[in-house]
Amino acid sequence: MTKTRSIIRGVGGYLPERILTNAELATMVDTSDEWIQQRVGIKERHIAAEGQFTSDLAVEAARQAMANAGVTPDDIDLIIVATTTPDYTFPAAATLVQMKLGMHHGMAFDIQAVCSGFVYAVATADSYLKNGLANRALVIGAETFSRLLDWTDRSTCVLFGDGAGAAIMERIELADDAPERGVLASALRSDGHYWDKLYVDGGPSSTGTTGHVHMQGPEVFRHAVGKITDVVYAALEKSGYTVADLDWFVPHQANRRIIDGAGAKLGLPPEKVIVTVDRHANTSAASVPLALSAAVADGRIKPGDLVMLEAMGGGFTWGASLIRW
């Protein structure tokens, strides 16, 4: 007898060339490097070039992930792009990625769960693969979040950046007595009653404009740690593991204080928590795969490790996925 699992075969990340430092931001808005680092732990963020779109960032991350996994576009039959900032209202950014990779086969669609998007996409791809709807998936979180910012609003413009991260997920069959691999459990949540705590004041159906990000920072912070730990415990309970079993915690890279608070509440030692927010700020749906690809590239995450992904975003949405690497 066998069991069907979806494993992560390879990961990749991409950050635009332009780096916007806190010092440079301080010349644009009333802020300082000290103020930003003390409150959110960010030192710099990357900004997409003019004419560089979300799908372009996604393709760069996808190519890295495919090279890491040893696959080509011909081997992929599902593309899911998690994004809040697609190139167009439609078509989906995923179809543009499909086109730019030279693919004419398979299926491609977007997921919109803001910062939780990549975790939602991993859980969705896992379901598609386990149910035989696809054999190999390209899952991407990609954002040009800088294009939603009001650069005169210091409460939001210092927090976000652009980037993309990707993973190749593959359906495999394991013998019942074989060691576990792949996605073991996911827990996804949302509550639209909190929509106005973190939102964009525009859209095709409301204003016909893109709009800008608005955030009630203290309210988001107040909810974040509790909601993060809720889904982490839920994923662990589904799989029969405990926090003590975790090798790595890869949280959404939004705010160093939230990351530290969640780690402390879970009882995780800081050395088990992957932190990259200082280098790329909050890249929304791209932040988890960027952190994941950085930790794989530098050798921290290794085969056999038990890895917890987690994110929370506007909506509110929040979710976690437990993966045996």
Cβ-contact 232, 269 below 8 angstroms: no
Q: Identify the active-site residue in 157, 252, 255, 280.
A: 252
Residue 56 CB burial class (10 angstroms; 0-12, 13-18, ≥19): buried
Examine the residue annotation and report whether 115 is marked as an active-site residue of this protein. yes
Q: Identify the active-site residue in 46, 115, 157, 280.
A: 115
Examine the residue annotation and report whether 282 is marked as an active-site residue of this protein. yes
Q: Identify the active-site residue in 22, 68, 255, 282.
A: 282
3-state secondary structure the chain: CEEEEEEEEEEEEECCCEEEEHHHHCCCCCCCHHHHHHHHCCCEEEECCCCCCHHHHHHHHHHHHHHHHCCCHHHCCEEEEECCCCCCCCCCHHHHHHHHCCCCCCEEEEECCHHHHHHHHHHHHHHHHHCCCCCEEEEEEEEEHHHHCCCCCHHHHCCECEEEEEEEEEEEEEECCCCCCEEEEEEEEECHHHHHHEEECCCCCCCCCCCCEEECHHHHHHHHHHHHHHHHHHHHHHHCCCHHHCCEEEECCCCHHHHHHHHHHHCCCHHHECCCHHHHCECHHHHHHHHHHHHHHCCCCCCCCEEEEEEEECCCEEEEEEEEC
The two three-digit tokens of residue 171, written as one number: 């359906």
Examine the residue annotation and report whether 157 is marked as an active-site residue of this protein. no
Pairing of strands 162-175, 2-14: antiparallel
Catalytic residues, which ones? 115, 252, 282
